């Protein structure tokens, strides 16, 4: 788990420099999915929590400019958002994998790799609508809020995160099989 946490931290720090739109692309979802599949949903939650802590630090220190705006607008909600979306995305990946892999490990990996960014982005979008209406309206600059949310704010990031996870799923499957034969 320590190695997985280190990978999550390093990838989140490196990913903070890759921007598409207002927010950085999240590169850490792949090791979160692998860790959740190998060690279970609680391990996925821990790895997601590590991702959330680094994301929160990036919001606080301004490395993530969009996150810094959210932090400035509401630090408590921003902290909870960073932590909860990561924890729940990791937990969801582990839960989905544990259920579906009983029938097919391949489909378990694919579905877990899809669930992780869906939960991460879904919680972010819900928080933006529920707690950051003013910021969202300002960022949209007069555009339709729904259009802005899905196309302008998270569209490209989400699609890239999803594509990376799906494309790397065969590799994830090989890592999981190797790790389970060695460590479990």
Do 26 and 15 touch, CB atoms closer than 8 A?
yes
pLDDT value of residue 150: 85
Cβ neighbors of 46 (< 8 A, separation 6 or more) are 1, 5, 90
Residue with tokens 């034969």: 181
44-66 b/e (C-beta count within 10 Å ≥ 16 → b):
bbbbbbbbbbbbbbbbbeebbeb
Q: Can you tell me the distance from the alpha carbon of 20 to that of 17, in angstroms, rounded to the nearest whole number?
A: 10
Q: Which of 27, 25, 24 is nearest to 11 (CA)?
A: 27
- CATH number belonging to domain 2-183: 1.10.1760.20
pLDDT value of residue 176: 78
Domain locations in the chain as residue ranges: 2-183
Q: Can you tell me the distance from the alpha carbon of 31 to that of 29, in angstroms, rounded to the nearest whole number?
A: 6
Q: Can you tell me the distance from the alpha carbon of 133 to that of 135, in angstroms, rounded to the nearest whole number?
A: 6
pLDDT (tens place) for every residue of the chain, 184 residues total: 999 999 999 988 887 777 665 556 677 888 999 999 999 999 999 999 999 999 999 999 999 889 999 999 999 999 999 999 999 999 999 999 999 999 999 899 999 999 999 999 999 999 999 999 999 999 999 889 888 888 877 877 788 888 888 888 778 778 777 877 775 5
Q: Can you tell me the distance from the alpha carbon of 67 to that of 69, in angstroms, rounded to the nearest whole number?
A: 5
Helix (H, G, I), strand (E, B) or coil at 143: coil
């Amino acid at each position: 788990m320590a190695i997985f946490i280190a990978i999550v931290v390093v990838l989140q720090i490196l990913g903070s420099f890759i921007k598409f739109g207002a927010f950085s692309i999240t590169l850490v979802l792949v090791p979160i999915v692998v860790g959740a599949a190998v060690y279970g949903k609680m391990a996925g939650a821990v790895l997601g929590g590590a991702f959330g802590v680094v994301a929160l630090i990036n919001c606080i220190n301004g490395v993530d400019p969009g996150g810094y705006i959210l932090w400035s607008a509401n630090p408590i909600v921003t902290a909870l958002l960073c932590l909860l979306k990561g924890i729940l995305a990791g937990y969801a990946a582990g839960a989905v994998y544990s259920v579906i892999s009983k029938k097919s490990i391949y489909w378990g990996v694919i579905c877990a790799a899809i669930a992780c960014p869906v939960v991460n982005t879904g919680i972010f979008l819900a928080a933006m609508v529920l707690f950051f209406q003013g910021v969202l309206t300002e960022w949209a600059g007069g555009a339709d809020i729904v259009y802005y949310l899905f196309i302008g704010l998270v569209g490209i990031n989400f699609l890239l995160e999803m594509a990376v996870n799906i494309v790397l799923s065969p590799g994830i499957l090989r890592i999981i099989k190797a790790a389970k034969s060695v460590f479990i």
